[in-house]
Amino acid sequence: MRRRAVVLAVAAATMLSTPIVRAADTVTGEVVDLSCYLSHPETSKGASHKKCAETCAKKGYAAAIDSAAKTITVEGRKVAQGGLNGIVVESVK
């Protein structure tokens, strides 16, 4: 019985940690760096914030696409893991 519980726990953990891959899709919006966007969203977008966002992206900080703005379009595979949705970017238009 205990072995069965361990096997079920391992199977559940594997299912939860495996990303769900969805069909290819496109997302359009403005690229924002998440550090600034989450701490001060009202001033973390637009041309005035472009240099900061570029610097953060070059450092490897996480970026996101704010779909309220219509500046770029990316194509790729949508994924979901741990309650987060993302896209593995394959091309930028």
- Report how far residue 81's alpha carbon sits from residue 83's, in angstroms, rounded to the nearest whole number: 5
Query: What are the residue ranges spanned by the domains of the chain?
Result: 19-92
pLDDT score for 7: 35
What is the per-residue DSSP string for 4-58?
HHHHHHHHHHHHHHSPEEEEEEEEEEEEEEHHHHHH-GGGSSSGGGHHHHHHHHH
CB 72 within 8 A of CB 92: yes
User: Taking the model in full, what pTM does it have?
Assistant: 0.56
pLDDT score for 36: 86
Which residues sit opposite 77 in a β-bridge? 24, 88
The per-residue pLDDT string of the chain (93 residues; one tens digit each, 9 = 90 and over) reads 443 333 334 334 444 444 454 556 888 888 888 888 888 888 888 888 888 888 888 888 888 888 777 788 888 888 888 888 888 888 888
